[in-house]
Amino acid sequence: MIALTHAWWVAMIRGIAAITIALIVLLQSQSHVSMTMVTAALGAYILVDGIVALAGGVALGLGLGLCGLLLLAEGLAGVTVAAVSLSDIRTAPHNIHIAEIPIIAWAGLMGIAEVYIGFQFGRALPANRLTTYRSALPPERAYLLVGTIALAFAISLLVLPMTSAVIAVPVIALFAAALGYLRIRSGLALGSLHLNHFYSPS
């Protein structure tokens, strides 16, 4: 888990992408917006998120252990799910619920991975970590919250299908905004740990 501090920029970029999609969805809601447009925007975000996660996994390298593998797995899942969802939208625009299935799977897998990283990170951090970044959200807590939000989003899609843009817009915007905020805070905390040489080089 130590290696993840070297890829603090991954969390930052993924957070900025999430905030961006939240704003786009909210801006779309000001005009006539369809479920196809909202789902396409979410699919585009998942694609960008997956590409950034893949880049982070490659940057960390397989030799750095589980951190790189988890980022690679999240990235591959994101790119695959985005491709499938966007393809479903193009081939079956009137049956948008088909595109929700891979999105639910993506959110569930990301949630499990992020919660696992959070637990592992908490065990790896030194006891005096809080004195290093008082203004930052501890990274292990940020990962746990990201995972919890992702799992909640997956469950909400299962329990409350996106039958209209009126329902989808606030749910997706809230999910993306919360995810983005936590990822940016996590990136700041990871960057603080990295710059302060809290860990010896891997």
pLDDT in tens, 143-161: 899 999 999 999 988 887 6
pLDDT for 88-127, tens place per residue? 666 655 555 666 788 888 999 999 989 988 887 777 665 5
Cα–Cα distance list, 180 to 129, 143, 183, 185, 187 (Å): 23, 12, 5, 9, 10
Alpha-carbon gap, residue 100 to 106, rounded angstroms? 10
d(CA 81, CA 105): 8
Q: Check: pTM over 0.95? Answer yes or no.
A: no
The residue ranges of the chain whose pLDDT is under 50 are 128, 130-135, 198-202
Chain centre to alpha carbon of residue 99: 18
Residue 111: its pLDDT value, please?
Answer: 93
